[in-house]
Amino acid sequence: LFGDWQICFQTYIDLYNIQPDEHKIARAKEVMGYQINTDKNDYWWWADGLYMVMPVMTKLYKLTGDKKYLEKLHEYLSYSNSIMYDKQAKLYYRDAKYVYPKHKSSNGRKDFWARGDGWVFAGLAKVLKDLPRNDPHRKEYVNIYKGLATAILNSQQKDGYWTRSMLDPQHAPGPETSGTAFFTYGLLWGINNGILKEKQFLPSAKLAWNYLSQTALQKDGRVGFVQPIGEKAIQGQIVDANSTSNFGVGAFLLAGCEYYRFLTKHK
């Protein structure tokens, strides 16, 4: 019952929706059906897990009509918020061990990991896409999403990217693509779906896409400046044009697809 082994359920359900075949979703229904009937609520203890599993819950609700998926979504997210959401900064720590002031960046600031908040922001966009309009917790999720969007907007660097430690650019200077791409996707999704104001957020999204398409994307097709697998901004870690990883490419594609949708709507 670990997010890394459940994220694939999102794709299985998407494939089922294209061409229904029960075997595609049998394991997802078995595993998640079991999980929502346990008495635990601490499954999502790290930021990445929110991206991995929150959308599985809303997709399974749409598939089955079982409201328990939405009830447990709220229960599990409430636990996550209690241990790693900073109400003042409106951002998420990667997990409880990075909460300020127990943990600080090298310059004594709150240390929010860009890719971690990218996972959460993109995950919330996917949840809001599938969540019923009349869900009793929808407004709460929208408010968290909007708060993240504003904090993301305010921490963007002038060249369009976000640094690995969002509020302490000097902790690990320079661009990071995976977090930037997730933020770009999340901002554009909010604009495309009328949740974020275009006038306020589109310049940031365009600036970020300019970084992604002009700096991160290399001439050979490689997506560079992707921080390797990790959980924090590491001082001295080299992240350059040759640094790539599959999740960075995936985030880049999410951002590109959402920007294409924006351009298509505004022909």
* Whether 200 contacts 72, CB under 8 Å: no
* Whether 241 contacts 175, CB under 8 Å: no
Catalytic (active site) residue 48: yes
Query: Of 4, 21, 42, 48, which one is the catalytic site residue?
Result: 48
Bridge partner list, 223: 217
* Whether 198 contacts 149, CB under 8 Å: no
* SS3 assignment, position 165: strand
* SS3 assignment, position 70: helix
Cα–Cα nearest to 177, from 104, 253, 95, 89: 253
Q: What is the dihedral of CA 53, 57, 58, 60, to 10 degrees?
A: 120
Report the catalytic residues. Answer: 48
